[in-house]
Amino acid sequence: MADVWLAVAQSKDIEQGKTLAVDVNGQSLLICHTEEGFFAIENQCTHDELPLDGGELDGCELECPYHGARFDVRDGQARCLPAVTGVKHFPVRVEGEVIQVQLD
């Protein structure tokens, strides 16, 4: 079975250091634009199941806007309490101006 890449946004629509919440096939994702490129994580904090959208992106770490948990957007790992479990992350590629994500 071939890999399926889904278009989720235009790269010009997400400034570096910012995020964009998107729904893909019923799943809420957060597209993060860092100095290292674009990354996609699940848009739900593992600490309290609240959305990560609106959190502050500092380098490659995203801080949950509710309780301050931090996640590495490159691999989804939790970086500080109160979260102890990482968020799901997804492969991303950019084709021209189109950001594409591969779901499981």
Predicted TM-score (pTM) of this structure: 0.94
pLDDT, residue 104, reads: 76
Mean pLDDT of the chain: 95
The predicted model gives 48-65 an average pLDDT of: 96
| SS3 call for 47 | coil
The predicted model gives 72-89 an average pLDDT of: 96
Buried b (16+ CB within 10 A) or exposed e, 23-57: ebeeeebbbbbbeeebbbbbbbbbbeebbbbebeb
Assess whether pLDDT exceeds 70 at residue 12. yes
